Amino acid sequence: MGPLYPQEIINSEFNILIGLFIGVVFGFLLEASGFTNTRKLAGVFYGYDATVIKVFFTAAMTAAIGLLIMHYLGWIDVKLTFYPKTFWIPTLVGGAIMGAGFIIGGFCPGTSLCAAATGKIDAVVFIGGVFLGIFGFIFTYDSLFSGLRMSGKMGETDIAQWLGISDGLFIFIMIIVTFASFFVFQKWQDSHTKDMDQRDLNELGLKKPE
Amino acid sequence: MSKKRKKRTKWLKNFKFNKRSNRYINPYVGGFFLGLLIIVALYFSGEGLGSSGGYRDVAVAVLDKVTPEYAHNNSYIGPRLASGESPLKTWLVFELIGVIMGAILSAAIFNRLHLRIGKAPHLTDKKRLLFAVIGGILWGIGTQLGRGCTSGLVLSGMAVNSLSGYIGLIGIFGFGFIFAIIFKSIWIKTNK
C-alpha cells in the first residue's frame, strides 16, 4: 500500500531518482501545454485564453478522482503523504500576494523555471525576483512574518470533512464546477478570439471559434 | 524518395519548423497526464508536485554557504539545517532539475528554444523586465508566507482535498482576478 517512500518500502536514493523523473515529465507537460508563454498565462485573467483553467482543473480533478478510487481500494493512505496542514490566514494573505505577483510578473515559480530554461529572458529576471523575495522573507521572518505565518492554525484539514460532507460528494460537486468553468471560460475565450489578429492567434496557439 | 516518405517529411516539417505558429498539446490531454503524474508522485514518494519548496531549498543552501552561522541561528531556516544533510539533497530540488530538463526537451521538439522576452506587444522590454522582477519578489514572499505556490499548495493540495489547497486557490486566482483589473495595462492595450 502506498505511499511507498514514507513507509520505507523504497530507499531514499531511488526516491530521489523518481523525483527527477517526475520533474522531467512535469516540465515537459508544462512546456507542451504552453505554460512558458506568459501571454497565455495572463490570458486566463482577461478571458482571451482559457488554457490555464482547462489544464489546471483537469489535472486537479483527475488526481482527486484517482486518489479517491485508490483510497477506497486500499492502495494509498493519503494522510501518510505530504498532506498539507492548513494555516488559513497566512495562506489567504500569501495567496493574495501571489495573485498580485501572477498579474504583475506573468508567471508562477514552476512556469518561470520552464520558461527560463527555454530561453525567456523575462523569466530569468522573474526567478531573480523570487530569490530576492525569499531572502527578504528569511531576513525579516522574526521581526515581520513569524506571527502571521503561524496564525489561523487548523491542522491537516480535509475540505470535505470541514464542510461536513463525504469526500465523494465534494469531488462530485467539484466536477460539476469544473465543467461549468470550462464552458464559461471557453465562451469568454471565443468572444475574444473571434476578433483577434491571426498573428496573436498564432502566438497563443489558438484558433478562431468555428 | 518515395511519395509516401515525402509526405511524411512534409508533415514533420510543418509540425516542427513552422515559426509563425505555436503548437501546444490539447489542454485536456495535458491536464489529464498532469493529474496522473500527481498520483504517481504521491504513490511513490508521498510528495506533491511542487516548485517554491525547491526554490527555498536553494536559498537555504546559499545562505548556509555564505553565512553558515546566521543560517543555523535563523528561526525560519535553521531547523532545515539541523540534520547536517545538504539542503540541496531533497526530493524537490531533484524534481526541479527534472523540470528544467523536461521543459528543454519539449521546447526542442516543438521548436520553441529561442532567446526572447515574452510580453504583450505594446509593452516595452524595459517595463516587462521591471514588472517581472516585482512579480517575482511578490511570489518569493507569498510562497513562504502561504506555504507553497500554484503547484505545491493549490494543485497538489486540491488533489488530496486539503482545505489549504482551496484557500490557496481562492487567494491566487480569486485575488488574481481583482489585481487583473488594476494592472490591465500590462497585458491589454488600452486606447488612451
In chain A, residues with a C-beta closer than 8 Å to the C-beta of B172 are: 95, 98-99, 102, 108
DSSP code of residue B26: -
Average pLDDT, chain B: 91
Distance from CA of A100 to the nearest CA of B (A): 6
Pick A70 or B86 by higher pLDDT: A70
Interface test with A, best of B20, B51, B70, B86 (most A CBs within 10 A): B51
Q: Cis (ω within 30 of 0) for the bond into A6?
A: no
The overall longest dimension of chain B from CA atoms, in Å, is 71
Closest CA to A121 of B103, B114, B140: B114
pLDDT in tens, B30-66: 999 999 999 999 999 999 999 999 999 999 999 999 9
Confidence of residue B110 (pLDDT cuts 50, 70, 90): very high
A38 touches chain B (CB under 8 A): yes
Contact criterion met (CB < 8 Å) for B47 and A82:
yes
Residue of A nearest to B43 (CA): A3
Per-domain residue ranges for chain A?
Answer: 33-82+157-210, 85-155
Contact criterion met (CB < 8 Å) for A205 and B112:
no
Of B24, B30, B103, the CB nearest to A27: B103
Per-domain residue ranges for chain B?
Answer: 12-115, 118-192
The list of chain A residues with pLDDT below 50 reads none
A58 touches chain B (CB under 8 A): yes
Pick A72 or B15 by higher pLDDT: A72
DSSP code of residue A43: H
Amino acid at B54: G
Contact criterion met (CB < 8 Å) for B129 and A122:
yes
**pLDDT number for residue B17:** 47
**pLDDT number for residue B1:** 46
Confidence of residue B192 (pLDDT cuts 50, 70, 90): low
Question: Burial of A26 by CB count in 10 Å (0-12 exposed, 13-18 middle, 19+ buried)?
Answer: buried
Q: What is the ipTM of this complex?
A: 0.96
Distance from CA of A169 to the nearest CA of B (A): 12
**pLDDT number for residue A63:** 98
A189 touches chain B (CB under 8 A): no
In chain B, residues with a C-beta closer than 8 Å to the C-beta of A159 are: 161-163, 165-166
Question: Burial of B159 by CB count in 10 Å (0-12 exposed, 13-18 middle, 19+ buried)?
Answer: buried
Of B30, B75, B140, the CB nearest to A136: B140
The full DSSP string for A95-114 is HHHHHHHHHHHS--HHHHHH
* Average pLDDT for B151-176: 97
Contact criterion met (CB < 8 Å) for A84 and B45:
no
Of A83, A100, A202, the CB nearest to B160: A83
* Average pLDDT for B63-80: 95
Q: Is A109 within 8 Å of B100 (Cβ atoms)?
A: no
Distance from CA of A47 to the nearest CA of B (A): 10
Of B76, B147, B171, the CB nearest to A138: B76
A147 touches chain B (CB under 8 A): no
**pLDDT number for residue B22:** 81
Contact criterion met (CB < 8 Å) for B135 and A132:
no
In chain B, residues with a C-beta closer than 8 Å to the C-beta of A121 are: 115-117, 129
CA gap B101, B96 in Å, rounded: 9
Of A103, A133, A162, the CB nearest to B183: A103
